[in-house]
């Protein structure tokens, strides 16, 4: 149930988005973040003006179905309600390069239609590693059967780094879930929150960075 009025000056909330700078890691071979300054006060200009060149799969970001399926919708066609609403944060303890299964969650049903999983396997957003954990198709199906709208994880991908088949992405398309990747959950206790992770309406885009927050309910 959403609070009657959302007031971030009075309610406790958690920013779960890593800072975006040239130091943030991206998938090897993807486009690193770069900000080009076009105008600046120290240069004698009357304002600050800049542009960015980057992959859309940057930091905390959402994937559009068009990213992982030829029939998938692009980002501007996604229902925003998937990215706004009640959300459960749940910790799982797994070795590196593990695909999470319902057994890792002890088959405990989800308590909200959006689930964020803290694995701790991608500890530094500025340092790339292939050792992060990911989801299994079995877990995706289990979440779909429970009516989940979104699944997120504190790693760069819901699939393992070397999975060219994108098995969990394919399962997510089959069960029509939304994806939130790259969130930072280190200081967020397990529990129920209000998730706000709205993507930009980038026409034709396969992803969008988001400023994701969790509001204590």
* Active-site residue flag, 104: no
Closest CA to 210 of 58, 88, 101: 58
**Phi first, then psi: what are they for 18, rounded to 5°?**
-70, 150
Q: Which of 67, 104, 107, 169 is catalytic?
A: 67
H runs (alpha helix) in 64-190: 137-145, 167-175
Sign of the CA dihedral 160, 163, 169, 174?
negative
**Measured between alpha carbons, how far is residue 88 from residues 66, 98, 111, 155, 205 in Å?**
26, 21, 6, 17, 27
Residue 206: Cβ within 10 Å count:
17
- Measured in whole angstroms, the distance separating CA 212 from the mean position of its chain's CA atoms is 8
Structure tokens at 54: 């980057």
Element (H, E) at 150: strand 150-153
The token duo for 168 is 């969990």
- Identify the DSSP state of 58: -
Cα 122 to Cα 118: distance, rounded to the nearest angstrom? 10
Hey, which residues are catalytic here?
67
């Amino acid at each position: 149930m959403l609070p009657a009025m959302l007031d971030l000056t009075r309610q406790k909330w958690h920013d779960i988005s890593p800072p975006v700078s040239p130091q943030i890691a991206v998938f090897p071979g993807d486009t690193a973040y770069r900000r080009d300054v076009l105008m600046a006060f120290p240069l004698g200009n009357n304002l600050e003006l800049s542009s960015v060149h980057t992959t859309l799969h940057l930091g905390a970001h959402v994937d559009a179905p068009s990213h992982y399926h030829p029939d998938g919708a692009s980002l501007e066609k996604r229902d925003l309600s998937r990215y706004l609403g009640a959300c459960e944060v749940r910790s799982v303890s797994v070795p590196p390069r593990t695909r999470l299964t319902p057994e890792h969650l002890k088959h405990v049903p989800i308590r909200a239609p959006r689930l964020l999983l803290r694995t701790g396997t991608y500890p530094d957003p500025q340092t790339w590693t292939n050792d992060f954990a990911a989801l299994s198709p079995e877990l995706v199906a289990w979440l779909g059967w429970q009516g989940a709208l979104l699944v997120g994880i504190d790693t760069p991908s819901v699939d393992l780094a070397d999975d060219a088949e994108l098995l969990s992405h394919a399962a997510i398309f089959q069960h029509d879930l939304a994806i939130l990747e790259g969130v930072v959950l280190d200081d967020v206790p397990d529990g129920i929150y209000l998730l706000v992770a709205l993507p930009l309406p980038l026409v034709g885009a396969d992803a969008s960075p988001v400023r994701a927050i969790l509001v204590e309910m």
